[in-house]
Amino acid sequence: MAYQTAYLKANFPLEFMTALLTSEIGHSSVQAEGKENKLVVYIEEAERMGLRVLPPDVKSSEVFFAPEDDNSIRFGLVAIKNVGHAAAEEIVHARKEKNFSSWGDFIGRMGGQALNKRTLESLIKAGAADNLDPEKDIPLKRSRLLAEIEHSSHAQSSRQKDIESGQGLLFSSEEFAPTLSQESKKFAVFNEADILKFEKEVLGFYLSGHPLTPLKERLLKLATCPISELSNAPSENIRLAGIITQVTKMTSKRSKEPWAKAILEDLSGEISLLAFPRIYASLGPEKIKTGLVVIATGRLNAKEEDGGEKELIVESIEDFEAAWQKKQFLQITLNDAPEEETLISLRENLENHPGPSKVFLEIKGSGGVLELDYCVNINQNLLKSIEALLGQSSWQIKSES
């Protein structure tokens, strides 16, 4: 079997990876909360093999994953949460008769109970309706379509009733196609983080990006190692940097005290965090919440029931930005020894911005750097006040090695 699998992978990579991705539908973390999402692993493997996995699209996707060209696999519709087999088949069948030209056309032709409000929301959140709207700004486009859901659902229901009574046959889908309702012309626009959160919600992973990508270099500097490399890490004093994607509140059977189990994710993988009663009480629930980017410190433990999979027994959790500030220090450089008035003004500026970062003072030609008795919050207001007092190029932000 291993030989046959290797042969198929080597000689028919497109077909092999398409079948592998399809085989995982229904087993990913969208349907099985807390379990590893193998779709992510397989998509990354496909990309390493030179194949592209294209996003879901009602104008192009089949029911399951399917080859789109010699080097691309299109995401299957049933791999989206809340999109059932009947809904996916209905979309594909209608599209093969004539492809959809707009969101209104899509709604106008999609009758029946298979495409309910929840299904439509999931299609939008997954990005599968992006090509039905000419707007190029993704957050704006998806926000508008989500705002339009209520109106579209009512229009779809009315259309279906007309068809069942025979009246719907008098009009084409283009004549029926609903326009943007007055209510949805006024809507809140979601930000990039919200869009990624929606993708995670309905796909089980971030498809168009990752909220940690802008923090990649800083995450590596603060963590002992990426989560994917924990097999080679020591068991004690482990520091992991990532985003909390799931929290389950627990109660100790013995003491009846609360504790928490969470999932921490970085750009390489994820791991379970266990904050037992004593630590959980000291941290408080505000430090263990979904969506927080944190530094988790503790010791590794291998779960016997999951074949030795690692989990982190938490000893402390710290806000990522606060931890990063501690790692940074501010160095102020002067060409000459300052006058007393200047030193007083500098001290006042530093005292007005208390925080975790150390401050060092260097006077060129003196041959040394002095650590000051102040810790500050390094921000633009502080840096501008130093520039106003000492001139440009008078400060540097440095990192402890």
Ramachandran quadrant class, 167 (left: phi over 0; alpha: psi -120 to 50; beta: rest): alpha
Measuring CA to CA, which residue among 19, 67, 21, 68 is closest to residue 42? 21
Domains delineated in the chain: 2-203 (no CATH), 213-320 (2.40.50.140), 324-399 (no CATH)
SS3 per-residue string spanning the chain: CHHHHHHHHHHCHHHHHHHHHHHCCCCCCCCCCCCCCHHHHHHHHHHHCCCEEECCCCCCCCCCCEEEECCEEECCHHHCCCCCHHHHHHHHHHHHHCCCCCHHHHHHHCCCCCCCHHHHHHHHHCCCCHHHCCCCCHHHHHHHHHHHHHHHHHHHHHHHHHHHHCHHHHCCHHHHCCCCCCHHHCCCCCCHHHHHHHHHHHHCCCCCCCCCHHHHHHHHHHCCCCHHHHHHCCCCCEEEEEEEEEEEEEECCCCCCEEEEEEEECCCCEEEEEECHHHHHHHCHHHCCCCCEEEEEEEEEEEHHHCCEEEEEEEEEEEHHHHHHHHEEEEEEECCCCCHHHHHHHHHHHHCCEEEEEEEEEECCCCCEEEEEEEECCCHHHHHHHHHHHCCCCEEEEECC
Cα-to-chain-centroid distance, residue 52? 20
pTM of the model: 0.63
- Residues in the chain predicted with pLDDT less than 50, given as ranges, are 31-35, 169-171, 174-178, 182-184
- In this prediction, residue 32 carries a pLDDT of 43
Angle at 216 (CA atoms; ends 211, 220), nearest 5 degrees? 135
Measuring CA to CA, which residue among 118, 120, 124 is closest to residue 110? 120
- Distance (Å, whole) CA 100 – CA 94: 8
- Distance (Å, whole) CA 401 – CA 397: 13
- Distance (Å, whole) CA 163 – CA 169: 6
- In this prediction, residue 128 carries a pLDDT of 93
- In this prediction, residue 167 carries a pLDDT of 55
Residues 6+ apart with CB under 8 A from 348: none
